[in-house]
């Protein structure tokens, strides 16, 4: 599923922003399964690309929650041993989430 993760994450994150609470919950659970089933690095890039920049607060909150799960799976040592550009992107993303207007996203 690694080659499909970008599109799947994008669609599921859009469904999290749906008005139906049932669909939101199902999309959130599906994202959790996806995060556990694919390569952590692929899940992390897909969540950062599709969810962190989204206008909907619920989407950003969900993306932040699953991004935290992925980062815990990878571990701090491995996250910080990447290329300088990947570390910079990760830090910028984390700063953006930490400064989010919604408390649950932070």
Q: How far apart are CA 41 and CA 21, in angstroms?
A: 29
Pick the more confident residue, 106 or 102.
Answer: 102
Rounded mean pLDDT, 1-14: 88
What is the predicted pLDDT for the residue at 19? Answer: 81
Calculate mean pLDDT across residues 10-15. Answer: 92
- Cβ pair 13, 63 in contact under 8 A: yes
Percentage of the chain exceeding pLDDT 90? 44
The per-residue pLDDT for 27 is 93
Q: What is the pTM of this model?
A: 0.86
Q: Report the alpha-carbon distance of residue 18 to residue 82 in Å, rounded.
A: 35
Q: Kindly tell me if the per-residue pLDDT of 102 is higher than 80.
A: no
Whether the CA torsion 41, 28, 8, 49 is positive or negative: it is: negative
Q: Where are the domains of the chain?
A: 1-105
């Amino acid at each position: 599923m690694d080659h499909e993760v970008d599109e799947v994450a994008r669609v599921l994150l859009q469904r999290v922003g749906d008005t139906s609470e049932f669909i939101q919950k199902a999309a959130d659970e599906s994202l959790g399964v996806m995060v556990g089933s694919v390569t952590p690095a692929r899940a992390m890039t897909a969540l950062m690309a599709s969810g962190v920049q989204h206008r909907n607060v619920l989407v950003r909150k969900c993306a932040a929650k699953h991004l935290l799960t992925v980062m815990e799976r990878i571990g701090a040592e491995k996250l910080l041993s990447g290329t300088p550009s990947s570390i910079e992107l990760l830090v910028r993303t984390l700063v953006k989430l930490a400064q989010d207007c919604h408390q649950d996203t932070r």
